Amino acid sequence: MDLRKIKTLIELLEASDLSEIEINEGDDSIRLSRASSVAAPAPQLPLQYAASAPVAVAPVSVPASEAPAPAIAGHAVESPTVGTFYARSSPDADAFVKVGDSVNKGVTLCVVEAMKTFNEIQADRAGTIVEVLKSDGDPVEFGEALFIIN
């Protein structure tokens, strides 16, 4: 683009109320922008939202953080993977174990399905099942307690 054309564009921009000009001629393009010393006006809120005076707000009582659930004495059997908990081998089968059952080390307690792979979760110690912490179909995280064995 010719320097004279650019000067003419600058003069046009200064003489007009435009804040910006952009011209494209073939492969050439130029964009001129006027730096404004006037800040853009703040957006106006509709009258219904404008407050004439501060409004007093009553304090909200927030309940004290709930006490953590009492810890159950015993050993927690944790999930070794992320997946879905199943207490039985099939929907019509009995649960592998239930509360009150005595188990030996290595007995299957449940399965955790991860990516279509069913991982048997086995008791890592002998004892009695005190609590089953999950239900069929519940999602489980890595390291999340599934059973409590006494």
pLDDT digits (tens, 9 = 90+) for 70-88: 556 789 999 999 999 999 9
Does the pLDDT of residue 40 top 70, yes or no?
no
pTM for the complete prediction? 0.51
- Give the DSSP letter of residue 49: G
Residues facing residue 132 across a β-bridge:
147
Confidence grade of residue 120 (pLDDT, cut at 50, 70, 90)? very high
What is the rounded average pLDDT of the residues 105-118? 92
| Range 75-149 classified under CATH 3.40.980.20 | no
Task: Say which residue the tokens 């449940």 belong to.
Answer: 110
**Dihedral over alpha carbons 139, 141, 142, 144 (to 10 degrees):** -100
DSSP structure class, residue 42:
P
86: nearest Cα among 127, 143, 132: 132
Count Cα neighbours of 30 within 13 Å in the Cβ-side half-sphere: 12
CATH code 2.40.50.100 region(s) in the chain: 75-149
The answer to whether residues 75 and 127 touch, using CB atoms and an 8 Å cutoff, is: yes
Tokens of 85: 């908990």
